Structure 1
Amino acid sequence: MSTSRTYLALALLAAMPVAVQAQVEEQREAGFDVRREWMEQLRAYPFGEYTQNPVYAARAAAFGAPARAASGAASSVQVAPWRSVGPFGFQTSGFYGSSPNADGGRIRTIAIHPTNPSIVYAGSASGGVWRTTNGGATWTPLTDNQCSLNTGSIAIDPVNPNIVYVGTGEPAQSNGCGLLRSFDGGTSWTEINGAGVLAPVNGSQNTRAYRIRVAPSLAGTQNTSVVLYAANNGLHRSTNSGSAWSTVLTGFVTDVEFDPANDNIVWAARAGTGTTANGVYRSTDRGATWLQVYATGTTVQRISLAVSPITPNSVWAVEVVSSRMDKLVRLDGASATPTVLTAQGVYGGQSRLDFGTQGTYDLVLEVDPQDANTVILGGSRMYRSRNGGQSFSLIAYDLHVDWHAFEYAPSDPNVIVGGCDGGVHASYDRGNSWVSRNTNISVTQFYPGIAVHPTIPDFIAGGLQDNSSLWGFGSGFWTMSAPSGDGGWNAFSPTNSNVFWTTSYGTGFIVRVTRNPLGTSISQVQRGFTSTDRKAFLSPMIIDPLNSATLYYATYRLWRTVNEGAQWGILTGDLTRGTGTITSLAVSPVDSRIIWVGTSDGNVQLSQDAGATFTVVSSTLPNRAVTDIAPDAAVPGRAVISHSGTGTGHVYATDDFGVTWANLTGSLPDIPFNAVVMVPGTSRIFAAADVGIYESTDNGASWSAANQGFPNARVLDLVYQAATGNLYASTYGRGLWATTIVAGASVLRGDVNADGAVNAFDASLAQQALVGVLPASAPNPMPRADANCNGVLDSGDVLSILQFAVGAAAPTLCVGKQQ
């Protein structure tokens, strides 16, 4: 039975005003563990943990879904192939970014070709493996359709560099599917789970790869090489180039290294709180058997190792305790005689410039291959020692924080390539100076809550993992809209499309952004509030689609402003079941009095009186986290919602304000679903999941996959741009994507004002639309302005229209044709 709650909204609004903060203060990213727990808890609820491996569960379900093909086969309905819209590098400002160098998404691992330093493989956190053959000028994605894009480690065979090994599952963050192996330099891959050793066969075990190493003396073959694989479920060994595996050291193994002079000698690190087995292990038979030679305390959380050819039979080890760098030691000889290195300079200065407190997440240790006195140590920041580790000084201080990878080129140690939360960066003078290599590599991790400009194609604002909130234009210019650490929800004003709003993980961090329509400059003003409310990692924030002065912000209750953030007040009491947070929020585009709320603990509540009262309407819905609510653009009582978790339905619809619900899940796979969109004026619904995007053309009666050209990435949001017919998807690891929903009727291409002729005035309108100054009275520019039929509005369309107007258009172009 539904219940009602009444709140003194106006009184509360008047009683709790919050003054505007004129200056936008920079925020550091949230703790990585908070981010991970938020994502996992949404999928786990109502259970204690999400034990089913999401990669395997999603993959198995997707293969069984209607019309789904792993290679990205076309949907049976009219959806154009998906295209990546970046960002392909972006500008950030503030203390933690790399400006004027371009930043990118999180890079976890780097591998450099043994003889050609221009060939580099970069493994991203959840965007797969990429390769460059020109030193980072351009990149190519290699694993978009593989079983997992979560990447932990890459190893190139030192003798035959066409053999590449990839360990999936990101350390400290996300699960993988085992090993990916290529014999042709990454063109094709074989998935290997080692009969359950490297990855589960039943979805009950979580695996993350920390390091892969190949024994040099036996390298170069496809069937007899010795390969070692360090992971959170042990150290695993293969003697046939990765085809079969056995576990040779149990526990949480965080690193492994062959001795550079004698690969019979191998070092491994075992960590994990509460056990005396922690420490450094040594093998004298290429990893077949092991002996603990150095014991750490029972509180060590992670250990990273480094070796150098200049000092054979020695290993450096850095220990992390309480997420801080606790000790740096060098172990020498067969007895592993320890020398404690003081590592002065890593802590003790400015906290914003020190090693940090995320050592289980970001940790790098390397020794120069030609100078054992040069030691590299990285955490939040990167440091270099010139005296063997006794003291350190900061390097790469003007680059993004949180370092995960640092590799010397085997053939030229002057060349270094590193990976951090800001992407790929390279040095060509042994670390003295650095340049960005984030050109066309698109591995950003977008959160839910992206916003799309009402009319300009590919103009998007969104929040990212550790790269603040960004705004930009597809493959073009992208920059930061607010220095928010982890960016949050965004929204465009419905009355002034040059104004948009952005948020952060911090409670009440809300910024109003005004864009100069003739350029790329913006002005910002903080329009938020402070609160200690229980909230999700990212709180939903939306704008009333019919009233640009009214915005809503959600914790476990709703906050509202009616004057564009000049004052905020509490609108409701607790809308959850008592312990959850609000995870989805929507105002009807038909009637502003209709407000929908979904929570992490399965509640759906509805107000039909602008928030004065709310009614629980979820009594017949699954007890799972509610991830999205899409109200109908024409029918006030209709809405579609999505649920996370497994074991129940995932997409439901109501036509009567939630009195009854229809389960639309049908043949959709049993995996977490994260977003839904209804296409106005049609019977089409799109639903996005941890794997794949699905479409219904009959209001949810049946579904087919809509994944042509789309990567195997987790999709967290969908937004439909009615003016262009574009559908946008944000992924957690492969950036933003767009597809054009093909209209049934053709249009005269180039006839922007729809007057039946293509002339110079149309070119002017297309140009105005391109820069965002199209008059409000003008018709929607797309798809008419797409004069070259490439699915986007760009400068080529303006040129094509002008050429057609003077009779010089190439006949192969679609301008002037009905298409």
Structure 2
Amino acid sequence: MNTILNTTRTLMVLALMVAPTMVQAQVEEQREAGFEVRREWMEQLRAYPFGEYTQNPVYAARAAAFRAPARVTAGSASSIQVAPWRSVGPFGFQTSGFYGSSPNADGGRIRAIAIHPTNPSIVYAGSASGGVWRTNNGGATWTPLTDNQCSLNTGTIAIDPVNPNIVYVGTGEPTQSNGCGLLRSFDGGTTWTEINGAGVLAPVNGTQNTRAYRIRVAPSLAGTQNTSVVLYAANNGLHRSTNSGSAWTTVLTGFVSDVEFDPANDNIVWAARAGAGNNTNGVYRSTDRGASWTQVYSTGSTVQRISLAVSPTTPNSVWAVEVVSARMDKLVRLDGASATPTVLTAQGVYGAQSRLDFGSQGTYDLVLEVDPQDANTVIVGGSRMYRSRDGGQSFSVIAYDLHVDWHAFEYAPSDPNVIVGGCDGGVHASYDRGNSWVSRNTNIAVTQFYPGIAVHPTIPDFIAGGLQDNSSVWGFGSGFWTMSAPSGDGGWNAFSPTNSNVFWTTSYGTGFIVRVTRNPLGTSIAQTQRGFTSSDRKAFLSPMVIDPLNSTTLYYATYRLWRTTNEGVQWGVLTGDLTRGGGATITSLAVSPVDPRVIWVGTSDGNVQLSQDAGATFTLVSSALPLRAVTDIAPDAAVPGRAVITHSGTGSGHVYASDDFGANWTNLSGSLPDIPFNAVVMVPGTSRLFAAADVGIYESTDNGMSWSAANQGFPNARVLDLVYQAATGNLYASTYGRGLWATTIVTGASVLRGDVNADGFVNAFDASLAQQALVGVLPASAPNPMPRADANCNGTLDSGDVLSILQFAVGSASAALCVGKQQ
């Protein structure tokens, strides 16, 4: 007994205390995809077959999904979702390599930062598509504030400089995702009012393309809920409010990318108008708090974006950085009423190693700030961040050991030694004016997951998934995750059906496929690149799946299907073009779990193709389906001919099912909202379906005849994938902006908690089995560990269960625990 106890304790300590290390083999680091490629992929799936997609799906769906009773369609069925959704992170992750912050923790993309005027420990962070978060302790912990608001796409945040309980948020992420106008809070973010300015800030008809760049409050009139002057710069103009944001007028038309009040005299305001092809581009000046404007500096029609900065030490002056052809083209300082320009040489921003320069994504990542106490200290950021000590003439890189792509940079108003910045790697802070930096990515779960997440067959919350600009990562739920391959934008993932320590990961449209092997204790991984070189046209994220019964066979999709039968050592083309041609690609791929000869393929241009002979031949089975992009295919776990599919776009049905290998299809959409749907799950052995959309998750308990909203505890985030883990009854949902979520939808019969081997006793043997299941080395002959191994009844398998079983075995378990009880 003592030997077993000591061995189990040793295993547990190793699993908990040994930090994962990376062993790289034949894997080259990749840079992220260009943001235009990512945006095009996201929008074209939703637009097809039309030219563009500008609808904000919230207006079509949020009433049904979040703010109305659960029933979506009439019928006798009702939601039987067992538990509320819970966030499973990641709460920080490690992305090593030149573009990551290792050993500092990275996080999801942060677009905006605002710091309390008198307390630098209170910070608001606006994420690209995960809403607004607040910390009261300098980033040790964060709280989400806008999970159920009209949009989680965040562009800018402003705190009233006199009354910091008044907070303004501009929705719509610059260059990327639409918003819904202004969010305003009078209680520090506890409650919000949505304001579209009677169509000025955001059209009211649900068809819109507004994105916020900057909000500023006039200091001399600040502190009130009804008389403050607020300026709002967006891609549809510069807007002005004289009543603290309740009503708005447009004072400058066109794309206004920045606005700043003069710190010494807020009658003087500077604004920047940009946009390729606009002859009125340049810097504008107002002397009446933004009521009227005069152009004082012309940049020409090629400038794409301008960022501005002011400093209290140089009244009536402004710095402006100009972006042309997505590169930093010029840095100027404009002085006095005539805005006399001084061109600054900005040496050092380009010319070093390509991985250390400003980059060529200036329309996407752009930062400009001037030290509030030293006008000679200028900060400019793009891919990397740079500091000048001579007013902008020469620069040197700072924060070079942090993630790339900077979007936000703020000095604390009460202590300029404190700086908080936001980039594609989350929130980072400096407490010595930018000389050194620390990560503040603790529990701020704003990662942008792509489709193609995978969950371990038996271990709860052991998940692998691909992230925007943060590679593919793996982890054990709500904690610190680890990069599985340095792949820029991560893609599809798959677990081996026969080896619990092997999973596969991909990256954006390159054929970059990696076999990842964990050692038995999970303390290190080995990576082997198993991709192929191909000129095939590919989706931004190309589907990759593994044969559910044969771990050596994998499929990879471009516009045609590829296959390997020896774990990626060799790949061969299996088919011809399965799309309609043109620029279309395969967007969804599935192999039947009951008969792997049955392979389903869906394309970006609406084709559904089926093979019943392991890919030797394919038949088009989508003639009766809508002409919309196919986003997911879920084969039945018991019936080879049955599958459910989802469609993106609008103006059609979105969920369809076939029971006869696609010969006939039934529209299951009912009165589901007419918005893009991205994923579907069939719960084996039941009549339950779950479908995920750009807003919300929906459940059917009668094979799609009727639907309920299944969003208890879930944020208003775009859901791109769903995965069901049969061993635990857990359903996982990956979001583009709010990380990963889980809920238990199937609960089993009462079991003896802690009796992992189901022999009727709870002892150290059970603790050993629980520990083996936790680290992924449970023998194949062992019974399913869940829910028996959940000895503390928190719904997951974790180290606390091992400890609880050990305590019970020696007679010291707390009576409050469920271990040893039939439950």
TM-score range, shorter chain: over 0.9
CA distance in 1, matches of 2:641, 2:314: 73
Cα offset, 1:275, TM superposition: 1.4
Among candidates 644, 651, 656, match of residue 648 of structure 2? 644
Is the Cα–Cα contact under 8 Å of residues 63 and 70 in structure 1 kept in the other structure? Answer: no
Is the Cα–Cα contact under 8 Å of residues 74 and 708 in structure 1 kept in the other structure? Answer: no
Q: Deviations over 1:534-593 (max 9, x none)?
A: 111010001011111111100000011111111011110000011250000000111111
Cα offset, 1:813, TM superposition: 2.5
Cα offset, 1:220, TM superposition: 0.5
CA, structure 1 residues 763+744, in 2 after alignment: closer, same or farther (shift >3 Å)? Answer: closer
CA, structure 1 residues 164+770, in 2 after alignment: closer, same or farther (shift >3 Å)? Answer: same
Instruction: Please tell me whether residue 41 in structure 1 is matched to residue 44 in structure 2.
Output: yes
CA distance in 2, matches of 1:20, 1:135: 34
Is the Cα–Cα contact under 8 Å of residues 6 and 613 in structure 1 kept in the other structure? Answer: no
**2:659 corresponds to:** 655
Q: Deviations over 1:50-101 (max 9, x none)?
A: 1322343343553687616999999831321111111111111111001111
CA, structure 1 residues 299+611, in 2 after alignment: closer, same or farther (shift >3 Å)? Answer: same
CA distance in 1, matches of 2:419, 2:475: 30
Q: Deviations over 1:413-447 (max 9, x none)?
A: 00000000000000011000101010111110000
Cα offset, 1:472, TM superposition: 1.0
CA, structure 1 residues 74+101, in 2 after alignment: closer, same or farther (shift >3 Å)? Answer: farther
| Aligned positions of 1:591-670 closer than 5 A | 591-670=595-674
Is the Cα–Cα contact under 8 Å of residues 81 and 739 in structure 1 kept in the other structure? Answer: yes
CA, structure 1 residues 785+371, in 2 after alignment: closer, same or farther (shift >3 Å)? Answer: same
Q: Deviations over 1:131-155 (max 9, x none)?
A: 1111111111111111111000000
Question: Which shows bigger deviation, 316-325 or 698-707?
Answer: 698-707
Is the Cα–Cα contact under 8 Å of residues 589 and 633 in structure 2 kept in the other structure? Answer: yes
Among candidates 481, 493, 496, match of residue 490 of structure 1? 493
Cα offset, 1:788, TM superposition: 1.8
| Aligned positions of 1:142-221 closer than 5 A | 142-221=145-224
**1:238 corresponds to:** 241
Structure 2: where are the runs of 5+ without partners? Answer: none
- Secondary structure of the residue aligned to 2:25 is coil
CA, structure 1 residues 445+18, in 2 after alignment: closer, same or farther (shift >3 Å)? Answer: closer
Q: Deviations over 1:597-622 (max 9, x none)?
A: 00000000000011111000000011
Cα offset, 1:795, TM superposition: 1.6
Cα offset, 1:817, TM superposition: 2.8
Cα offset, 1:378, TM superposition: 0.2
CA distance in 2, matches of 1:633, 1:506: 29
Question: Which shows bigger deviation, 674-683 or 3-12?
Answer: 3-12
Cα offset, 1:767, TM superposition: 1.6
CA distance in 1, matches of 2:537, 2:671: 36
Q: Deviations over 1:648-677 (max 9, x none)?
A: 111111110000011111121111100001
Cα offset, 1:179, TM superposition: 0.7
CA, structure 1 residues 340+622, in 2 after alignment: closer, same or farther (shift >3 Å)? Answer: same
Question: Which shows bigger deviation, 391-400 or 58-67?
Answer: 58-67
CA, structure 1 residues 242+757, in 2 after alignment: closer, same or farther (shift >3 Å)? Answer: same
Is the Cα–Cα contact under 8 Å of residues 14 and 521 in structure 2 kept in the other structure? Answer: no
CA, structure 1 residues 198+121, in 2 after alignment: closer, same or farther (shift >3 Å)? Answer: same
Q: Deviations over 1:150-189 (max 9, x none)?
A: 0000000000101111000000000111111111111111
CA, structure 1 residues 2+737, in 2 after alignment: closer, same or farther (shift >3 Å)? Answer: closer
Q: Deviations over 1:513-532 (max 9, x none)?
A: 11112132100111110111
Is the Cα–Cα contact under 8 Å of residues 65 and 711 in structure 2 kept in the other structure? Answer: no
CA distance in 2, matches of 1:53, 1:201: 10
Is the Cα–Cα contact under 8 Å of residues 23 and 525 in structure 1 kept in the other structure? Answer: yes
CA distance in 2, matches of 1:257, 1:571: 58
CA distance in 1, matches of 2:7, 2:371: 67
Is the Cα–Cα contact under 8 Å of residues 281 and 303 in structure 2 kept in the other structure? Answer: yes
CA, structure 1 residues 14+420, in 2 after alignment: closer, same or farther (shift >3 Å)? Answer: closer
**TM-score when normalising by structure 1:** 0.96
CA, structure 1 residues 487+23, in 2 after alignment: closer, same or farther (shift >3 Å)? Answer: same
- Secondary structure of the residue aligned to 2:767 is helix
Is the Cα–Cα contact under 8 Å of residues 4 and 613 in structure 1 kept in the other structure? Answer: no
CA, structure 1 residues 357+427, in 2 after alignment: closer, same or farther (shift >3 Å)? Answer: same
**2:251 corresponds to:** 248
Cα offset, 1:9, TM superposition: 50
CA distance in 2, matches of 1:78, 1:472: 25
Is the Cα–Cα contact under 8 Å of residues 74 and 706 in structure 2 kept in the other structure? Answer: no
Cα offset, 1:746, TM superposition: 2.5
Cα offset, 1:710, TM superposition: 0.7
What percentage of residue pairs aligned between the two structures are identical?
91
Cα offset, 1:747, TM superposition: 2.3
CA distance in 1, matches of 2:691, 2:778: 32
Is the Cα–Cα contact under 8 Å of residues 60 and 673 in structure 2 kept in the other structure? Answer: no
CA distance in 1, matches of 2:293, 2:72: 44
CA, structure 1 residues 578+297, in 2 after alignment: closer, same or farther (shift >3 Å)? Answer: same
CA, structure 1 residues 91+206, in 2 after alignment: closer, same or farther (shift >3 Å)? Answer: same
CA distance in 1, matches of 2:239, 2:299: 22
Is the Cα–Cα contact under 8 Å of residues 115 and 410 in structure 2 kept in the other structure? Answer: yes
Instruction: Please tell me whether residue 292 in structure 1 is matched to residue 300 in structure 2.
Output: no
Cα offset, 1:462, TM superposition: 0.7
Cα offset, 1:705, TM superposition: 1.2
CA distance in 2, matches of 1:813, 1:189: 40
Is the Cα–Cα contact under 8 Å of residues 2 and 615 in structure 1 kept in the other structure? Answer: no
TM-align CA RMSD? 7.6
- Secondary structure of the residue aligned to 2:311 is coil
Is the Cα–Cα contact under 8 Å of residues 318 and 335 in structure 2 kept in the other structure? Answer: yes
CA distance in 2, matches of 1:43, 1:61: 20
CA distance in 1, matches of 2:679, 2:793: 29
Question: Which shows bigger deviation, 333-342 or 771-780?
Answer: 771-780
CA distance in 2, matches of 1:331, 1:574: 57
Is the Cα–Cα contact under 8 Å of residues 586 and 631 in structure 1 kept in the other structure? Answer: yes
CA distance in 1, matches of 2:6, 2:625: 12
Is the Cα–Cα contact under 8 Å of residues 211 and 229 in structure 1 kept in the other structure? Answer: yes
Is the Cα–Cα contact under 8 Å of residues 606 and 616 in structure 1 kept in the other structure? Answer: yes
Is the Cα–Cα contact under 8 Å of residues 5 and 614 in structure 1 kept in the other structure? Answer: no
CA, structure 1 residues 18+625, in 2 after alignment: closer, same or farther (shift >3 Å)? Answer: farther
**2:445 corresponds to:** 442
CA, structure 1 residues 227+6, in 2 after alignment: closer, same or farther (shift >3 Å)? Answer: closer
Is the Cα–Cα contact under 8 Å of residues 57 and 695 in structure 2 kept in the other structure? Answer: no
CA distance in 2, matches of 1:167, 1:210: 8
CA, structure 1 residues 433+12, in 2 after alignment: closer, same or farther (shift >3 Å)? Answer: closer
CA, structure 1 residues 394+201, in 2 after alignment: closer, same or farther (shift >3 Å)? Answer: same
- Secondary structure of the residue aligned to 1:292 is strand
Among candidates 721, 727, 731, match of residue 727 of structure 1? 731
CA distance in 2, matches of 1:513, 1:592: 23
CA, structure 1 residues 286+660, in 2 after alignment: closer, same or farther (shift >3 Å)? Answer: same
Cα offset, 1:765, TM superposition: 1.5
Among candidates 451, 460, 463, match of residue 463 of structure 2? 460
Is the Cα–Cα contact under 8 Å of residues 23 and 526 in structure 2 kept in the other structure? Answer: no
Is the Cα–Cα contact under 8 Å of residues 237 and 255 in structure 2 kept in the other structure? Answer: yes
Cα offset, 1:508, TM superposition: 1.1
Q: Deviations over 1:458-480 (max 9, x none)?
A: 11111100001111111234111
Q: Deviations over 1:352-391 (max 9, x none)?
A: 1100000000000000000000000000000000111011
- Secondary structure of the residue aligned to 1:36 is helix
CA, structure 1 residues 2+82, in 2 after alignment: closer, same or farther (shift >3 Å)? Answer: closer
Among candidates 534, 537, 541, match of residue 534 of structure 1? 537
Is the Cα–Cα contact under 8 Å of residues 713 and 732 in structure 1 kept in the other structure? Answer: yes
CA distance in 2, matches of 1:160, 1:100: 38
Q: Deviations over 1:300-340 (max 9, x none)?
A: 10000000000010000000000000010000001111110
Structure 1: where are the runs of 5+ without partners? Answer: none
Is the Cα–Cα contact under 8 Å of residues 227 and 238 in structure 1 kept in the other structure? Answer: yes
Q: How many residues align?
A: 818
**TM-score when normalising by structure 2:** 0.95
Cα offset, 1:105, TM superposition: 0.4
Is the Cα–Cα contact under 8 Å of residues 8 and 771 in structure 2 kept in the other structure? Answer: no
CA, structure 1 residues 34+435, in 2 after alignment: closer, same or farther (shift >3 Å)? Answer: same
- Secondary structure of the residue aligned to 1:7 is helix
